[in-house]
Amino acid sequence: MSKKESQQMTSDPRVFLSISKSLELRKKRSSVGSPSSLRTMTVLSPSFTPSTPRAESPQLPEQKDDFKRLQSFIEVLSPKLINKKKLQKLSWNGIAWQLRHKAWKILLGQVPLDQDKVEDVLKQKRTSYIEMRKKMLNDLRINEENHYIQIKKDLIRSNKEIPFLFNSKIQTMMENVLLVWALRHPACGYVQGMNDLLVPLIYVYMTEYTYDQELTDQRINIIPSMLLECCEADSYWGLDSIMSRIQDNYTLEQQGIMNKVQRMEQIVKVATPELYQHLSDNGVMFLQFAFRWINCCLLREFKLGTALRLWDSYMSVEDGTGFSELNMYCSASLLTYYSKDLLSMDFSEIIQFLQHLPTDTWGDEEIQVLVTQAFIYENTSDFASCQ
């Protein structure tokens, strides 16, 4: 298949309708997993009512009403001139996985809203990245090699629960993207945690070519090298867009993260004073657990499929602060979600619990509650002093 044919195929709504129908058939044939309970959160707004429990939460959770959701995104993404506000509004509640790669590129500003210009812009950006990679990686200086060594170490320590990360082709793609980004931004360089931020981008942009949510070695290894380079380049520009919004997290001794952790602490103090006092009485410092939450945008606290749903909401924020502000409020929301559990624990139990949160059964409904609570925190006058 030629590059042009591939692009035409992946932008054709009929392809995604066909995929959706096959998914519906597969869903009917599959057995239903054990029910998972949905915890009720303490919500400040009396008008908000948590959603009903979801029936099942597989590793990559299937979203309710998949076909209807897919149709909605096809309608929004089909016009020649895409309405970004409509896309943002729809994306807040989760994006159909078949079109997530297209929606994310628009929401991150990687491609223009005018669809007649998308192919040319993608070609230009992909070519630019390949040229940068060739120039930078062929002439590494000694101090720059230190970035490469650290990146290699971090990738080897990648999440063992995400098998595709250990595919040799994926490892090479991630090494290239992270190193090129670090070399292009010497004031910041490479900082541990950036490798986590790249994972969702690699995954989502790979699904454009695999047409499947499960990335196995077999599926990855049959993708032509030209398309892998397209995925690598797109992932680079996606990471660049995200980093431009949270770069203060990775400069000046990561002072941006420190400030957000302090603000998160104040939010929890106002929202759940009993929990705040309990943590304080037990000598628990927010930095002991919240630093990772902010640094990795909560990616390590959820299974990948659930994290993608959370990132859909981050992407949808109009002013581009989803990965900074909304992530900080979601972190506070996540802590207060487990308030009842934490109140019965001592120091060692609290730290162990918060570093290994029991979120394996979380899916769309739970994430919806989480981001709704975060939205309330962000837009309630009681928390104005936490800004």
Averaged pLDDT, 146-160 = 88
Q: Token pair of 276, please?
A: 């705040």
Q: Which pLDDT does position 36 carry in this prediction?
A: 35
Q: Which pLDDT does position 10 carry in this prediction?
A: 40
Domain ranges of the chain: 3-115, 119-249, 255-386
- The more confident residue out of 142 and 255 is 255
Say if CB 200 and CB 95 are below 8 A apart. Answer: no
Q: Which pLDDT does position 13 carry in this prediction?
A: 39
pLDDT for residue 316 is more than 60: yes
- The more confident residue out of 26 and 246 is 246
For the chain, what percent of residues have pLDDT higher than 90? 71
pLDDT for residue 58 is more than 90: no
Q: What is the DSSP letter of 248?
A: G
Q: Which pLDDT does position 56 carry in this prediction?
A: 39
C-alpha span between 382 and 332 (Å, rounded): 14
On the 0-12 / 13-18 / 19+ scale of CB atoms within 10 A, 187 is exposed
If you average pLDDT over every residue of the chain, what do you get?
85
Q: Which pLDDT does position 52 carry in this prediction?
A: 35
User: Helix, strand, or coil here: 114?
Assistant: strand
C-alpha span between 108 and 244 (Å, rounded): 10
Quote the pTM value: 0.83
CATH number of 255-386: 1.10.472.80
pLDDT in tens, 271-315: 999 999 999 999 999 999 999 999 999 999 999 999 999 999 999
Q: Which pLDDT does position 385 carry in this prediction?
A: 64
